[in-house]
Amino acid sequence: MKIAGIGTALPKRRDTSAALDRQLGLVAGRIAALTGVQTRYVCSGEESQITLGTAAAQAALSDAGLLPRDIDLIISAAAVPYQLIPATAPAYQAALGIPDGAAFGFDVNATCLGFVTALEACAGMLASGRFKRALIISSEVASRGLPWDSKPAVAGLFGDGAAAAVVEDSDAPFVTRFRSYPSGYDICKIGAGGTRYDFRAEPEAFAANTFFDMDGKALFRLTSKYFGGFVDDLLADAGWTKAEVDLIVPHQASPMALQHMIRHCGFDAGKVVDICADYGNQIAASIPFALGHARDRLQTGRKVLLLGTSAGVSFGGAAVTF
């Protein structure tokens, strides 16, 4: 399988940590000190998850030299959908002008690992021969559910953004690995919106759980314990050594988490795409956005490692040869 085109999109509004300090009445430099994030982009006005994702999709199609009519499989890979029902992918199909019945669209939700999980789904579906070409869209509007009042150190980590990729079947090597550690199921969550809380019977509990919550220390302990070994196993599956990897594209969880991952896994920092301080954690859009940011480093034959963690807690990664 190969990634034939990559595109990204950002909202127009750019919020600096210094401006947020002033808005929240915090000491100057507080948000940046807590999070390491200097700037993030935020949807406002008529911008939406769909408009952002569609813009990224159009950029990916242009990068691949294709038109929307060339796509027959669309996967929306986001932590939070546009709405609970129906799936978000058909909305992208309509926005791109792909006619009824010309493509199949569905959603994948593996939170921050959505893009890599969608790649895995594409690999099998394209190899079957039933689909010719897929479009994966990861568009996230994290700003809608952040706990600014109660946990600014958590809220300040995130930013909105979108990325998309055109995927085709090929002989290019593609190896993935996924593992879940449900002992950390409640470490990162938005509890409301599904069936866990009944809005009619528990309106207060429902409202209290509509904002994102995270226990950063617990997540750090779990990833520190298992993630290094997970990466070693993925490299062994791919038959690669760390020295052979040309580029590492990790989930942009936080600037501090990225630095810890580099040290813990023994990576060459110069090979790691690290843009979190400028864009924040874009959830499922984080990995493909970082990949798009490094587009000029993806020459043919390059060995690229996509790595991430997600709520659940899960680890995932892909060894991709361009």
Q: Could you give the domains of the chain?
A: 2-171 (3.40.47.10), 175-321 (3.40.47.10)
pLDDT at 173 over 90: no
> What CA–CA distance (Å, rounded) separates 289 from 164?
8
| Mean of the per-residue pLDDT values of the chain | 95
> What CA–CA distance (Å, rounded) separates 244 from 65?
30
**Model pTM?**
0.95
pLDDT band at 216 (very low <50, low <70, confident <90, very high): confident
> Does residue 248 sit in helix, strand or coil?
strand
Mind listing the pLDDT tens digit for each residue in 39-90? Answer: 999 999 989 999 999 999 999 999 999 999 999 999 999 999 999 999 999 9
pLDDT band at 3 (very low <50, low <70, confident <90, very high): very high
Q: At which residue do the structure tokens 């690669």 appear?
A: 240
> What CA–CA distance (Å, rounded) separates 70 from 47?
26
Say which DSSP state 26 is in.
Answer: P
> Does residue 209 sit in helix, strand or coil?
coil
Order of strands, edge to edge, in the sheet holding 314-321? Answer: 174-180, 314-321, 303-310, 247-250
> What CA–CA distance (Å, rounded) separates 275 from 249?
10
pLDDT at 297 over 90: yes
* Active site members: 112, 251, 281
